[in-house]
Chain A
């Protein structure tokens, strides 16, 4: 990719750094008479990505291109060079992957095409596209910013889809009806390393209003990725019913932001102009943490951000009609101070603002104060002073409603059948039984699956029917690394449950050594990260992939499906989760059953079931496991109990969809 240190680089003002507040400085990074929009910041705050007009002509958009700037050196790299409009972009937390979306007209049809650009290699990959017949004709990107996780392998593209276009421009008499979604997938094209999902990652977020005056959050949290699919189609997860006017803001999502671990969410509620009761005038900045929602300010800023570590909050307030003032405070609402007393000098902030992991920088962009162009501004924490605290909020307003709890909150407009390859942890030399599960099945008559597994690590012993296919016809064939499976059910398979289980024997360490099976040694990305301990390379992980899934219902109509791949992780006894005998990630009664059967010699003993470390698996180990299972069931219920309105929660261990499978019509 070309290095572009041309006109735009000249626009980088030679670090016109001005102190704006005790402890903070301000730099105008870029300014231009034409479109300029910052769309992402790396976790360390050293790289930003922005979209800029390059032909100095407001009337054209084909020339909008994506750029990356290194804030340490000032070097600008041009990422795209084409005759199409780049409409969205984002950067991974490690700063190595830039994702961008290009608006293309093909045969009279608008198509949004998405690509990744890897900074270290300069390689570009096509990810997928959105056609109007895939979503609908009113599909539009909802933000310029694409959120990308730390290692660039989880990508979230916010979009809007309007069922009634006119409702977008509603008045107060109408609530916005928006079917917004976040499309995501992982970078799992053939030949590339399958992504590692563990570790610290950014959280995708969105907060908007629906026509029930209810706030809901949509969070992709890789630390707790199983929550992605927890909602049933069409259902919404209510974390708070505020009863306040959350506003028809012409489709603009309400401001909110989520810490990288998903544990702190800061959001803004606007007052209801028609409020008649005290309850209805609740407004301000609210913090969601540990299940409680606490009001931390009475202000209602149009933009808000929380740092990746969740320690600092930044927001802008309107200083006048066409000016803004930047503030910061601690996430508990204390230590509020103005960063830029004189205003940021932008008359209109075009999208949002960004901060990095530790909140040491804030970047925002918009139209300049004279409406004569655009600017990208950088505020740095110089660490020289904590500044003057404007106000400490003591005596905080009590939480809106303490009874709503959730560790991670998700709403996905997912109404498709989901087929998932299970994930397990296993000791070398052991036997594992890995499920292929289905959710939201509705009278499925036939399923054809092509599964891929690591044959240098696993031997297929058998494929047996699952709970939903006890009366179905199931056939399978193993060829090399692939297992072909056919299921036919004249009555139709419906509901949630297992389609089948595959019994594997995990090769022993000796066999693995002989075969040279080391697993998918993940790309060592630690050198790219600020937090190497959080994305340390993981060895001995193997992918379990659904290569193909063709599903038809009993009426022989094709059924749209989303597939979720799994993985196998080889572990040592020291790493094992004692009691999780079948390695499925949770301790249930079936683990106790396995232990009991081991204790009487029905099954080969597995020391993961040896709860008291006496070198044997005995009935008391089974009882111990059963008690743990009880405790975990209680814990799960306590979590689920407060997920009001979402129905049954379904866990996904490493839920990730295959590229291009979400949103495609069947």
Chain B
């Protein structure tokens, strides 16, 4: 085998391994955004997912302190194109259901909850239960939950007068894949230039 061919084969193997690593399933993460706000104000907090892959449906229950927060509305997040349903009848509990027959992939916001801040204090925003299912196989998906905390401040103490939600990850689709493509392109370009793959 010519040295150039061997190098090319090695590069291909490396790329294959690289893509294999990229395609290794990482657990789906559901994150509740934390934040703070003054009593009497409203605060919108995002519920986001990370590393979604063929996510066909999700049941999500969030628990919060109803003495501190009151749900004003629950809206569909930008990542969800399919069915969306929520239930806030029980104070302290928000149930959200999502169905997308095309499957949700990547990272982004799946829901947005607007709270009214009732009184000063701290409320945990806890993922009390979550179930997720693959769009094709309908197999359950392992989910990691990241809870949030909301700090409600007295109006006079809240200097900014505006709620300050913690940053939400920007919506993006399969960043690992894009990075992989970029790296692969660079490697290929480099070898092409050196004649390694000719």
Residues in A lying within 8 Å of B, measured CB to CB? 433, 435, 464-468, 470-471, 495, 497-498, 501, 582, 588-590, 592-594, 596-597, 600, 602, 619, 622-623, 626-627, 629-631, 633-634, 636-638, 640-641
Contact = CB atoms under 8 A, between A and B. Distances in A.
15 contacts: A464-B139, A467-B141, A467-B142, A471-B24, A495-B142, A497-B142, A589-B98, A592-B83, A593-B135, A596-B99, A630-B97, A631-B87, A631-B89, A637-B129, A640-B128
A589 B86 CA distance: 12
A612 B85 CA distance: 18
Closest 8 CB pairs of A and B: A589-B57, A630-B87, A593-B57, A590-B133, A630-B95, A626-B97, A633-B95, A626-B85
B59 interface: yes
B138 to A, nearest CB: 6
Nearest to A581: B138
Given A589-B98, A634-B87, A636-B129, A467 B93 contact: no
B87 A596 contact: no
Nearest to A433: B138
A608 to B, nearest CB: 15
A629 B59 contact: yes
Contact of A590 (B24, B56, B83, B96): B56
Nearest to A595: B99
Contacts of A597: 101
B61 to A, nearest CB: 5
Contacts of B87: 627, 630-631, 633-634
Contact of A596 (B58, B83, B131, B142): B83
Contact of B139 (A466, A596, A633, A638): A466
A582 B131 CA distance: 15
Contact of B101 (A471, A501, A593): A593
B140 interface: yes
User: Which of A435, A637, A638 has the most B CB atoms < 10 Å from its CB?
Assistant: A637
Given A623-B83, A636-B61, 12 more contacts: A433-B138, A435-B140, A589-B98, A590-B140, A593-B133, A596-B82, A626-B85, A627-B97, A629-B85, A630-B85, A630-B95, A631-B89
Interface string B115-148: 0000000000000110101010111111000000
B93 A626 contact: no
Contacts of A596: 82-83, 99, 101
Nearest to B130: A633
A622 B138 contact: no
A468 B87 CA distance: 30
Interface string B90-122: 100101111101000000000000000000000
A638 B86 contact: no
B188 interface: no
Nearest to A594: B138
User: Which of A593, A597, A622, A627 has the most B CB atoms < 10 Å from its CB?
Assistant: A593
A497 B85 contact: no
A368 to B, nearest CB: 57
B139 A467 contact: yes
Size class of the B contact interface (CB-based, 8 Å): 20 to 34
Nearest to A498: B140
Nearest to B103: A593
Nearest to B101: A596
B22 interface: no
A497 B61 CA distance: 18
A339 B64 CA distance: 51
B139 to A, nearest CB: 6
B1 interface: no
A501 B83 contact: no
Contact of B99 (A435, A593, A640, A641): A593
B184 interface: no
B59 A589 contact: yes
Given A593-B56, A633-B61, A633-B129, A471 B25 contact: yes
Interface string B11-38: 0000000000000110000000000000
B25 A631 contact: no
B63 interface: yes
Nearest to B96: A630
B138 A582 contact: yes
B57 to A, nearest CB: 4
A629 to B, nearest CB: 5
A495 B138 CA distance: 20
A629 B97 contact: yes
A643 to B, nearest CB: 12
Contacts of A622: 83, 99
A592 B138 contact: no
A466 B141 CA distance: 8
A593 B85 CA distance: 13
B139 A589 contact: no
Contacts of B141: 467
Contact of B140 (A466, A594, A619, A636): A466
B139 A640 contact: no
A634 B56 contact: no
A501 B129 contact: no
A588 B90 contact: no
A47 B110 CA distance: 61
A464 B57 contact: no
A467 B141 CA distance: 5
Contacts of B96: 630
A600 B138 contact: no
B85 A623 contact: yes
A592 B89 CA distance: 21
A292 to B, nearest CB: 19
Interface string B68-93: 00000000000000110111011001
Contacts of B133: 588-590, 593
Nearest to A638: B90
A626 B129 contact: no
A489 to B, nearest CB: 13
Contacts of B83: 592, 596, 619, 622-623, 626
Contacts of A589: 57-59, 97-99, 131, 133
A633 B59 contact: yes
Nearest to A649: B129
A467 to B, nearest CB: 5
A205 to B, nearest CB: 29
B142 A468 contact: yes
Contact of A602 (B90, B101, B137): B101
